[in-house]
Structures are given as structure tokens and as C-alpha cells.
Chain A
Amino acid sequence: MKRFKYADERISEKDILVAIPSSVIGVGILSLPREVASVTKFADGWVPLLIGGCIVIFMTWAIAKFASGFRHQTFLTYASKIVTKPVAIVLTILFAASSIVITAYQVRKISNIAQQYLFDQTPIEIVALTFLLVVVYAVSGSRAGLFRINIMFLPIILLIAFSVIIFNLGWFEIKKLMPVFQTPPTDYVKALNTSTISYLGFSILWFHLALVGQPKKAPKMAALGMCIPVGLYIIIFLVCIAVFGNAVTSNLLYPTIELAKVVEIPGGFFERFESIFFVIWIMAIFNTTTMAMDISVIALNSIFKNTMKLKIIFMLAPVVYLIGMLPQDIVTVDLLGAIMGNTIVILNIFVLLLLTVIAKIRGVKRNE
């Protein structure tokens, strides 16, 4: 069989603008309003969401700025120049490992949610396997193709998100947003942690920026792209509080899905809006998962240069599946998510600081 080859494996800066929200928006937002609402009072959760968002937008910009300084170089190449090869390999493996865990977490979470809302009888192992096979298929194809899928899906995802919000306007109760600013400062800090984790997905910048032809405007584009999930998350959180109130939001497992379930389109001919929402949200989760898996493939491929990409993918897939199936119940799944999120935030900050500082000290030249 012949494989179709795209003419070039380069992507544009606009692709980065779309890839960032695509890899951020995933399963996180489905349960995020609960996690934030349960530690804050009334509607105060938007404050940590905004602050966390600003921190993340800045980090996105900083990583993109740094990585775009090394045009067309893989993470391993420029990291080796700065902190010697062994250290660079360790860092690459850390990124690969964390991305494998993200992939596994997304696969597990989507299977759990799909079982709860869509297929009551189908075992989650089967749902997870099917989903993973599609992800593997996508990742084994062209890398530029992944970005094209992102561009194709993102408008649909944003459209459905906004229609959920608009159809819920009828249930809005502004008084549920009152009173404001009653949360003690220590609780804001707790919520800040949750909200920052939910914006994860900027790790792609370390690896995929090498594909950008002219990365000059990439930092700006990446930061702009990050603004999309930040805005969306804050709006969805406020809608959840205005529709359900704080007490209910902090008790619903997936407030965002329930929000879609509340929708009643006038006329009564279309009752189950959540099924449409769900189908489209699986596309969002698919994007997140493929991007995460692609990071681990790039990372491992840069270390084992002589191994074929497909071989790496086929070796990764069972590992992802096993990690995903490991937790027994949803409490453990969420714990895995929290540990993973914190690790990745720390890893990103650590690598960014390490590389910037040492590059300054040793005076490593950028090829701008």
C-alpha cells in the first residue's frame, strides 16, 4: 500500500494559534467548574481562573519565545547545546513520559464519561481501546495533518460550546452570582492550583515549534491561542454558577455536561441536546489526545533516531492503554490527573528556567 505524503511537513504560525487551544480544551473543562466551585464561595472562582490564565498565557509566551529562538531545531538538539546531551536526554524522556500519562488519562477519562452518559453496558476497556486505536491511526499519519485536523475541529468545538451557553441563557439567575469576593485568600490559592492545571497543553511548544517555517510571530500567536481556553473556561464557569448555583455545581461530577443536558430547544422536537454536545466534545478530546501522544512520539524519536516512527507508536500504544486502565475508580483517576497536572506544570517551569538561565550563562547563540 502506498502512503500519501504531504508536500511539506512545515506548519505556519497560524497553526500554532489553533493548536494551543486544541490541545488545552479536553476533558478538563467537563469537571473544572466543580473543582473550582467546591473551594471557592459563590461565583468567586473566576478570579483564580483569570489569574491562573494570565500565568499560563505568560508561560506560553515565554516558552514560545525561547523555543522559536532555535529555528528548525528539535528540543533535543538545542537542549543538548545548552545543558549537555545526557541532561537533555533526561529532560526529553521526562516530557515523553508525562505526555504518555496525559494520553492515558484522557483516554481513561473519556471512556468513563462515555460509559456514564452514552453506553451503559459497553465495558470501558472496549471504549478506551476503540478510542486509542483512532488516536494511534491519527498520530501515525502526517504531523502536518494533525494540525489540519485541529484547524478543522476547533471552530466546531467553539460553536457547540457557545450554543450550550446561549441555550442556557433562559435558566440564568444573576442573583446566584452574588455576593462577590467573599472567599478567604487561602482558598483562592487552592483554586489557583486547580485552575492552572486545567490549562495544561503548552508542552507542544517545546517540540512542535521546530516545524514552524517562520517562527517570528509564534510567541504572539501562542499567547493569543491560549487566551481562547482561558476566556472559554471563565465563561463556562460563570454560566454553571448562574444556572446551578454554587452548591449544585460543586456536587455535580461533570457540570459542563449537565449544562448541555439542561438545554431545551424551544419547539420540543429536539430533546437530547447533550448527545450532539458529546459527539463534538469527543472531537476536542481527540485533538488533545493526539497532540499529547505526538509529543511523546517526537520526543522518543529524537532520542532513538534510527527507529521508525510507526514502531515507536506501536510500542507506546499498549503502554498508554495499560496506564489508562490501571486506576480502579474515579477517585484514583482524578488523583492521577492531579499528580500528572502538577508534575507537568513544575516540569515546564523548571525546564524553562533551567534552559534560559544556563543559555544566558554559557552564552549559547540563537540562530535568529
Chain B
Amino acid sequence: MNKVCLFLLCCMSLLLTGCWDEINIEERGFVVGISLDLAEEHTEDNPMITVTNQFVIPGGLGAPNEDSSGDQKPFNNLSIDGESVFEAIRKMSTMKGNAPFFEHLQLIVVSEELAREQKLFARTMDLFLRDQEMRRSVRILISENKAMDILDIEPDSEPLPVMYINNASENNDKVAGLLEPLRTGDLHEYLLEKNNYLIPRIFALDNEIQFNGAGVFNGRTNHLVGVINDEEIVGLNLITGDLKGGFIKFEINDQLMIYEIRKAKSNIKINADDTNNIHIDIVISTEGNIGEMYGERTLLEKDYLEEIETQINGKMESLAYDVIQKGKEELEMDFFGFGEMLQQRHYKKWEKIKDNWDEGENIFKNTTVKVKADAIVRTTGATDKVKDWESE
């Protein structure tokens, strides 16, 4: 009996030797960033895409010690052309010994040139949502120039450009002109729905990147149709209430003053009784403090504070009107989400007008938008005056 048991155990151990999916961690090519460009040689009906993968070289990361080979770059970029992204990535595994592995992908950069091609942008995004290695929290950015240049920068603060960009994009609580980072999960929704959307835009300058506005995408064709700048994003963030923080620069008595926003929200009312003349009323309310001032008048006077608040309100209203003007007149598109709100609140009416909202008859263009800002200065910072020039 015992011998039989022993024999069976030996046989079983032969069956239990391994795992189909075993891959040594050294053999994985960890990809942290991908950029997509239009290939240089491409025909109209058959666009070729250049896919650049950024592989991490673990040896180049971490604290330098005596054994490591000095100035090894922590990353390695590899570009390849292909008609589809999948094809390019698979071709890459023959070029690079280690097959690319995407579970740790953090960033996708798409060049503006590619994003301007009708439908091509949506097509190239398919893989990033379909493949089971991809997570739904990968960030997407549009680059003004070649997207592969973004992955080539060598930042001082972080070993990997992707980490550096991710850190920078999270500062939307410091700068009002920065959109909340867009993730592939959100993009999936945008691609499926017909609403227009925005994707943050960057460009590389030497070894630094700069956020520069956002690309406006048409929700039906999913291609880039226009660009809005940082100031317009401030206005947009104020309207949508997505502002996480930031500042407003304004002038009072010909002197510069900075209002730091701590809290912002917006209240949008849509009156759709008459579909030919829809009224949109936006109330922006913010709380904050004085961040910096060039003048020397005391701030601790009720009247003066009220005057400051009026100035801030004027500035915020004009920022909001500017971006609405841009949407209505220049781009003739609703990227504020008013259409969505109509759908949520006046569904029956929206069903009737949705085909003529910002195309066809373009009802959006004829809406009346009123913005009212209500800023509160809670405190003046740690001090009242910092400097005092005796005028007499």
C-alpha cells in the first residue's frame, strides 16, 4: 500500500511541475508610456502609425550603488511603424528581447496631427480598452508636436519622464488652467457617447514639459477640431465647477492682485421652455484668500474688500464669457456639458432637439447664457500689509 502511494506521489509531482503562464520578471519588458504619431510615409486612405513604447530599465532606477553601471538611462524608447497598434506592438517583441508588458502602463501621448485625422483617433484607442493587460486608469494627453519627443525628455526630478508628467498633471489644484487628467475609462464613455470632450495638451521644451490648453474633440467623429488655451480652461473650469483650486489675477487701482481660490462651485440652471431660445444661467461661487498684492492699501476695510470682490467677479465673469464666446462663435460646439445637462433634466425636450443641438440648426449657438460670479475673500493671508511707501 505504502509503495503504491509513494509511486503515485512521484507521478503526481511530474504533473505539477509548472505553470503555463510563468514568465520571469526579468523577461518582461515593462512599458510605462506609449506615444502614437502619424508615420512619415503614409497614404490618405491607409494611414500608418508610429508607435513608441517606453520600456523601463530597472537597472537605471533607484539609488546608484557601486555595482550598477554608472550613467545608465532608466528608460529606453523604441518606435515602430504599423497599420494597427497591435501589429506594431507585436513586431516590437521581435526587435526587443523581452515582450512588452502593459499592466503598468501609465500614460498614452497622442500627437495632434494624428488626433486631427477623422476617426483615426478612436480606432487607435480601441486596443487600450480591449486588451486585458490594459487598465482603465491610464492617462491620455495630446501633444502639440511629435508625441515621441515627449517620451524623450530627461527630467531632473524624476528618473522617468512618464512619472514626471503624471506628477505635473496632478497639480490641477494649484493652477486653474489645468484640466483634470483624462483616463482611458472616461475616454471609453466619450467615444461611445456623442458629447464633445476635451483632452489636455502638452508640449516638450528642452527637458521640460508644459501644459498648454486642451484639444477639443468632436463627439461624433472623435477627432480634434480645435484648441482652447489655459485662460479659456480657467473659464471652463469655473463654469463646470470642476475647479479644484488655482488663482485669478486681476488689477485694482492699476495694481496687480492675486486671488487664490480655495473652493469653487457652480450652479447651472437651464430654462428650455422655448427650444429656440434656451436660457442658461450660471452662478459661480468661490471662496478664497488674497495670495499676493502689489499695492499697499490696507485690506482690512470692509468697503475695500467689497471692491476687490467686485473686481474678482468681473474678471471671472469675463473669463467665463470669453470661453462661451469661443464655443459659440468660433468652434460652434458645446464642450461645456450643457447638452448632457439638458439630457439629464429635460429629457423629453432633449430627444427632440439633440440632432440640432450643436450641429444642423445649431440651437446651442442661439442660446442665451448669463454668468454671475460671487467671490468671497475669506482672509488676506498671514498679514495685512507687507510694504508701506509713505506717499507724502
Query: What is the interface of chain A, defined by CB distance below 8 A to chain B?
Result: 116-123, 126, 175, 178-179, 182, 244-245, 247-248, 251, 258, 261-262, 264, 272
Contacts and interface: CB of A to CB of B under 8 A. Distances in A.
A117 B133 CA distance: 8
Interface in B177-206: 185, 188-189, 192-193
Interface stretch (B340-348, B370-378, B381-389): B340-348
B344 A244 contact: no
B136 A179 contact: no
Interface of B: 19-21, 103, 132, 135-137, 185, 188-189, 192-193, 340, 343-345, 347
Contact of A178 (B21, B193, B345): B345
A277 to B, nearest CB: 14
B347 A182 contact: yes
A120 B21 contact: yes
8 contacts: A118-B21, A123-B20, A175-B340, A179-B344, A245-B193, A247-B192, A247-B193, A258-B136
- Complex A-B, nearest 9 residue pairs according to Cβ-Cβ distance, in ascending order: A247-B192, A178-B344, A122-B20, A121-B20, A179-B347, A119-B21, A245-B189, A121-B21, A248-B189
Contact of A117 (B132, B185, B189, B193): B132
Contacts of A262: 136-137, 185
A272 B104 CA distance: 10
A116 B133 CA distance: 10
Contact of B136 (A120, A245, A261): A261
A179 B348 CA distance: 10
B185 A244 contact: yes
Nearest to B136: A262
A244 B21 contact: no
Given A116-B132, A178-B345, A261-B135, A248 B188 contact: yes
A131 B185 CA distance: 32
A121 B343 CA distance: 45
Given A116-B132, A247-B189, A258-B136, A122 B343 contact: no
B185 A179 contact: no
Contacts of A120: 21, 132
A199 to B, nearest CB: 29
Nearest to B343: A179
Given A248-B188, A248-B192, A264-B137, A122 B344 contact: no
Contacts of B20: 119, 121-123, 126
The residue among B185, B193, B345 with the most chain A CB atoms within 10 A of its own CB is B185
Contacts of B21: 118-122
A117 B132 CA distance: 6
Contacts of A245: 189, 193
Contacts of A178: 344-345
Contacts of A247: 189, 192-193
B301 to A, nearest CB: 42
B137 A251 contact: no
Nearest to B340: A175
B65 to A, nearest CB: 24
Contacts of B340: 175
Given A119-B21, A122-B20, A179-B345, A251 B136 contact: no
Contacts of A251: 188, 192
B104 to A, nearest CB: 8
